[in-house]
A = this chain, B = another copy of it.
Amino acid sequence: MTAASAPMPAMQIQCLPERSWPLRLGLLGGGQLAKMLAQAASQLGCEVWIAEKESDCPAAAVAARTWVAAWDDLPTLLEFARACDVVSLENEFVPVESLEAMEQQGCTVRPGSNTFRRVRDKWAQKQTLAQAGLPVPTFAEVNGPEDVLAFARIHGWPVLLKARCHGYDGKGNATVHSPEELEPAWQRLGGPRGRRLFVEAFCRFERELAVMVTRAADGRCAVYPVVETVQRNHVCHIVTAPAPVDASVAHRADDIARAAIECIDGVGSFGVELFLEPDGRLWINELAPRVHNSGHYTIEACECSQFENHVRAVLGWPLGSPRMRTPAAAMVNLLGRCQGSGQPIGLEKALAVPGVHVHIYGKKTCAPGRKMGHVTALAETVEEALARAKQAAEAITFGEPTISCQG
């Protein structure tokens, strides 16, 4: 915890080159996070370009231009980056080497490859956090199932088996409760195919919390209020703000989150997922090197959203206040239930619920668990906000199912 309270080092601000007008922000990835980033950037007069594998992505409809490129198509990505004033990203799928290549060509990439390298590989992320004295559950590299068994002998069952890269929304993670469950989990996560895995002690948490941090290039931070997150099938489902924790927990969560983003030298908005144990201890679960689902509520609930602050940070502008403008807020994700079209059904019922803000991402197809949109409600209490957000969210389904599904 010493890192959290250490004075912030003075940093050299990387000056952006003399810019043309309009200032062009390039985003690698065109999903809903890019869409919401693009909307914030457009309000500030920036032109937003998107690079994505498919032209038919949520952000394409609100961006000035969309480039279609695979994440390993380096020539196209470099051409894209050279045409932008600043490049940022909305997911973890871009190879670090592509970011490095952009930087070597003189492009401004924020967050940079130095940050990305420390976050994208979850094992490296944990190493970085642990070395900074930050609280992370005990973890170890594993080269075969026998290493997992050895780890469990010391730390007990269950253990978490995780892929080092490319995991999100629970993909790439398995909770292993006994030796019998180990082999199937090892198979599923790709261990036999040479995918690098690691193991982590299971945290018997009381709540899952999250803190969004936006960090500017000069090291200043906007730390958003600590929120509670509730997952459904490992996918973020509900976020309530502020989290129902006492002031000392909130204060420590703030310190830990800030220190975590400092130790990866992050520039932009980052999600810090935390576990809260019954005795009040906090552990860092995971960092997201980008805007994050746990911060969607900030669009309506905070003075300056995680999206606008990300844009401000990566363009070298002063950060806005992360203060809440409402006593309480709740966000409920609109998760797909079936395979089918992306057409929202019941939107008019959701819009009739007082005090709710509905976001439909515009994905063309729906799938079980797919994030299709979200609803944020503001109210005097978390309970009231949550009741409204749930009522609106439950009114919306997506598309005509093409195969049968379970409600």
**Chain A residues close to B by CB (< 8 Å):** 21-22, 35, 38-39, 42-45, 47-48, 60-64, 303, 312, 316-318, 320-321, 325-326, 341-344, 347-348, 351-352, 354-355, 358-362, 373, 378, 399
B320 with A351: CB separation less than 8 A: yes
Cβ distance A351 to chain B, nearest Cβ, rounded Å: 5
A61 with B43: CB separation less than 8 A: no
A21 with B325: CB separation less than 8 A: no
- Residues of chain B within 8 A (CB-CB) of A48 are 61
Cβ distance A81 to chain B, nearest Cβ, rounded Å: 20
B378 with A325: CB separation less than 8 A: yes
Cβ distance A325 to chain B, nearest Cβ, rounded Å: 7
Given contacts A61-B64, A318-B351, A325-B378, contact A39 B43 (CB under 8 A): yes
- Residues of chain B within 8 A (CB-CB) of A64 are 60-61
- Residues of chain B within 8 A (CB-CB) of A360 are 43-45
B325 with A45: CB separation less than 8 A: no
- Which B-chain residue is minimally distant from A373 (CB atoms)? B45
Partner among B42, B318, B352, B359 whose Cβ is within 8 Å of the Cβ of A62:
B42
> Bound state CA distance, A358 and B45, in angstroms?
9
- Residues of chain B within 8 A (CB-CB) of A62 are 38-39, 42, 62-63
- Residues of chain B within 8 A (CB-CB) of A320 are 351
A351 with B317: CB separation less than 8 A: yes
A sample of 27 cross-chain residue pairs with beta-carbon separation below 8 angstroms, ordered by A number, consists of A21-B341, A21-B399, A22-B362, A35-B42, A38-B62, A39-B39, A39-B42, A39-B62, A42-B61, A43-B358, A43-B359, A44-B347, A44-B359, A45-B344, A45-B347, A45-B360, A45-B361, A45-B362, A61-B63, A62-B62, A303-B355, A303-B378, A312-B351, A317-B347, A321-B354, A325-B325, A325-B378
Cβ distance A36 to chain B, nearest Cβ, rounded Å: 9
User: Which of A38, A45, A48, A361 counts the most chain B CB atoms within 10 A?
Assistant: A45
> Bound state CA distance, A327 and B154, in angstroms?
58
B373 with A343: CB separation less than 8 A: no
Given contacts A61-B64, A359-B43, contact A343 B21 (CB under 8 A): yes
Cβ distance A211 to chain B, nearest Cβ, rounded Å: 21
- Which B-chain residue is minimally distant from A304 (CB atoms)? B357
- Residues of chain B within 8 A (CB-CB) of A43 are 39, 358-360
- Residues of chain B within 8 A (CB-CB) of A354 are 321
Cβ distance A6 to chain B, nearest Cβ, rounded Å: 26
- Which B-chain residue is minimally distant from A348 (CB atoms)? B317
Which are the 4 A-B pairs with shortest beta-carbon distances? A45-B360, A21-B343, A318-B352, A61-B64
B348 with A318: CB separation less than 8 A: yes
> Bound state CA distance, A46 and B350, in angstroms?
16
> Bound state CA distance, A47 and B61, in angstroms?
7
Cβ distance A120 to chain B, nearest Cβ, rounded Å: 30
- Residues of chain B within 8 A (CB-CB) of A21 are 341-343, 399
> Bound state CA distance, A354 and B347, in angstroms?
35
> Bound state CA distance, A312 and B325, in angstroms?
24
- Which B-chain residue is minimally distant from A342 (CB atoms)? B21
A321 with B355: CB separation less than 8 A: yes
19 other A-B residue contacts (CB within 8 Å) besides A39-B42, A45-B360: A21-B343, A21-B399, A22-B61, A39-B43, A42-B62, A43-B358, A44-B347, A45-B361, A45-B373, A61-B63, A61-B64, A62-B62, A303-B355, A303-B378, A318-B351, A318-B352, A320-B351, A321-B355, A325-B326
